[in-house]
Structures are given as C-alpha cells and as structure tokens.
Amino acid sequence: MKSSVYQCSIMELPKVHNRAGNITAIENQLHAPFDIKRVYYLYDVPGGEDRGGHGHRTLQQFIVAVSGAFDVKLDDGINKKIVHLDRPYIGLHVMPGIWRELLNFSSGAICLVLASDTYSDQDYIRDKDEFLRFKSENR
Ligand code: TYD
C-alpha cells in the first residue's frame, strides 16, 4: 500500500451549536471519505496504557476524540507523525498501510473509530518487522 503519513489528514466536522449544547454529525462519504461499514469506540482505557500497535492492509479509519484526549502516532515505515486529538469535532483520516499507536489517553477519554470495513483479523499486521516488509514490497 503506497500510503504515507502525509495522506492522513485532520478534518474539521460541522458543529451545530445552541444554548443547549452541540451536535456533530458524520455522514457517509461526506465527512468520512469512505463508506462506513463499522463503528467502534475505545473507553475505560487505564492510565498509561497504549492501544493500536498495528497496521492494516486495506482498512481506512476515521478517528475522533469524542471525549477527552489522546495522541495518535502514525508511521508509514519512513516518516512518522504524532497527532493530538482533543476535540469532538475534529477527525483524523488514517489511510491503509500505516502503523498506528494510540497513547497518552486522558482519564475518561473516548476514542470513536469509523471504519471502512467489518472486522477482519486477516487485515491486521501486528508485527512491526512484517509491516516494514509489507511497506517495502509496496512502495
Ligand atoms: P485491536 O484492534 O487489536 O485493539 P487496539 O488496536 O485498540 O489495541 O482489538 C482488540 C480486540 O478486540 C481483538 O481481540 C479483536 C477485538 N475487536 C473486535 O472483535 N471487533 C472490532 O471491531 C475491533 C476493532 C476489535
């Protein structure tokens, strides 16, 4: 997968504000730049724990800190980038073929993930050396 961390972009989502609070909607193809086939969220992450630590062969994801904050560390095998997410109206589009780690979760943080496909263990690359080989074969 010829993807780079520079193709993983931050996107601002619409926010409808009134005195009773805010609403942010994420629509298929419009805000998330792919067909959303799965939604999941990470929560109750104990202090100091990291998540992720894998790459995907084909999966695209759109990550939002709907509550609290955390960092997303992206690595395409050559370049690295760290994105701090701490606003429920900001999303990070993660391309396939990117090694990602989620770290520095604040207390009570909720990480919402919209994904372009249903869960498939075969799509994961969980070994960093295998990921680097996969990237060098697909450059
Ligand atoms: P994993 O994606 O490895 O977690 P993280 O990258 O956040 O550390 O998933 C952890 C476990 O949860 C794994 O055993 C598979 C399961 N899982 C599902 O069953 N469905 C899903 O959609 C996801 C994302 C994970």
Tell me the pLDDT tens digit for each residue of 76-130.
999 999 999 999 999 999 999 999 999 999 999 999 999 999 999 999 999 999 9
Q: pLDDT value at position 132?
A: 97
Q: What's the pLDDT tens digit per position in 50-72? A: 999 999 999 999 999 999 999 99
In the reported structure, the alpha carbon of residue 135 is separated from the centroid of ligand 1 by a whole-number distance in angstroms of 22
DSSP structural state of residue 46: P
The confidence band for 8, taking pLDDT boundaries of 50, 70 and 90, is: very high
Return the active site residues: 54
Question: Could you state, in order of their start, the residue ranges of all structural domains in the chain?
Answer: 5-137
Measured from the CB, is residue 40 less than 6 Å from ligand 1?
yes
Phi and psi angles of residue 8, each rounded to the nearest 5 degrees, phi first? -90, 105
DSSP alpha helix (H) spans, 68-139: 128-137
* Average pLDDT over every residue of 25-38: 93
Distance CA 101, CA 75 (A): 9
Q: What pTM value is reported for the model?
A: 0.97
What are residue 72's phi and psi, to 5 degrees? -115, 120
CB-based burial, 11-39: b 16+ in 10 Å, e otherwise: eebeeeeeeeeeebebeeeebbebebeee
- Whether domain 5-137 has CATH 3.40.50.300: the reply is no
